[in-house]
Amino acid sequence: MHYPPYWDQAPSSLDDFPLINGSSSQYRLINPWSYIHRLGLYKILINVTTPYMPFCSSSNASNILFALPSQFGWQFSSNRLFTYDEMMISTTSWWGSANYYLAVIPFLVAMDVDIIKREPFRIVREENFCTNSSECFDQIPDAMIQWYRFFYHLKQSSSCIGNKKIDGRIMDKCYLTYMWLAYTSTIYNALPLVKSKLQYLPSKVEKTFGLSWAKLINLISMTRKNTNLYETIRNQRRFSPFRLLKDSDRSATSKDLPDSVNKSLKILFSFRYDWLSFIEKVWRRLTCNYDARVYAQHTLDTMGVSKLVAFYNLIRAAINAFLYRCDSFY
């Protein structure tokens, strides 16, 4: 299994962070601008939430939060964190700055709701990034609220499951619904906070790629795609460029990138973003029940492989959207 780079070296609990002897108390010091420290926040989240996910009995790789550290690891290995062979994340990195909130906010909320054992700690401050729950509530309140909802429902997941067998439908309803709401809320609300970092991206194409990815994540979230390590790694290999993009990559024919990555970039660069609001409304209707979402996921998976197959899956999603009742959540 391909865990994020340096996963074994990352802290597994608060006790693994540096202990600081203050004038009146001791506390653990967390620097989320250290790649290892931020990876440790994710690792702790995986460790403490896995017991609440009975489908993780064989491996924590089935944990639906693994998209967070896996994506972070991809950003590191593709140098989108501007580490340049060092282990410190640059505050000029747009990717690293947006990712800050995906690491710190779930960690803070998990401690607030006692999923993580409470211990004295402090987070190193850089610029205007929030470092505690109170500050983050002031800075990015909706993301905090959505993560509270996620952890609340995670702790109550046994009631949602009841006596039913855990299958795709249960995963969709009891776990992925609230995870995706928290994830997309964090991305959506973090983007304005890190807008000034866009100027440091190395090319217009990289900027277009980053913003396009952020805009389209809501379409992916509506399908409630599984975000365990297996699925995330598979999608990263197929669709995510392993290096920063250059302006010459706009043609989406770069020979050093896999064909599937070039095809996905071509779709991103040709997408009509002026139609996004309308497309989201239609897509929401086409993903309003589980049976439709299954084929909506297949549609996204096959767009970069075969337009004909993707269209077939889209038709099946549309049929199921109208054939079966929409979820009460919608």
Q: What is the pLDDT of residue 25?
A: 86
Tens of pLDDT, residues 284-328: 999 999 999 999 999 999 988 888 999 999 999 999 999 999 997
Sequence-distant (≥ 6) Cβ neighbours of residue 7 within 8 angstroms = 39, 43, 69, 73
pLDDT at residue 104 greater than cutoff 90: yes
The mean pLDDT value for 75-99 works out to 94
Residue percentage of the chain with pLDDT more than 70: 99
Sequence-distant (≥ 6) Cβ neighbours of residue 267 within 8 angstroms = 303, 304
Least reliable range by pLDDT among 89-93, 213-217, 303-307: 303-307
Point out which residues pair with 65 in neighbouring strands.
Answer: none
Tens of pLDDT, residues 105-126: 999 999 999 999 999 999 999 9
Is residue 153 within 8 A of residue 178, CB to CB? The reply is: yes
pLDDT band of 129, cuts 50, 70, 90? very high
The mean pLDDT value for 73-97 works out to 94
Tens of pLDDT, residues 33-71: 999 999 999 999 999 999 999 998 778 999 999 999 999
Tens of pLDDT, residues 140-159: 999 999 999 999 999 999 88
Q: What is the pLDDT of residue 274?
A: 84
The mean pLDDT value for 123-143 works out to 97
Q: What is the pLDDT of residue 282?
A: 96
Q: What is the pLDDT of residue 85?
A: 74
pLDDT at residue 330 greater than cutoff 70: no
Point out which residues pair with 27 in neighbouring strands.
Answer: 20
The mean pLDDT value for 123-137 works out to 97
pLDDT band of 329, cuts 50, 70, 90? low
Give whole-number Cα distances, 324 to 85, 98, 234, 282, 313, in Å. Answer: 52, 38, 30, 16, 16
Rounded Cα distance, 185 and 189, in Å: 6
pLDDT at residue 207 greater than cutoff 90: yes
pLDDT at residue 200 greater than cutoff 60: yes
- For the chain, what is the mean pLDDT? 94
Rounded Cα distance, 218 and 307, in Å: 21
Is residue 221 within 8 A of residue 184, CB to CB? The reply is: yes
pLDDT at residue 31 greater than cutoff 70: yes
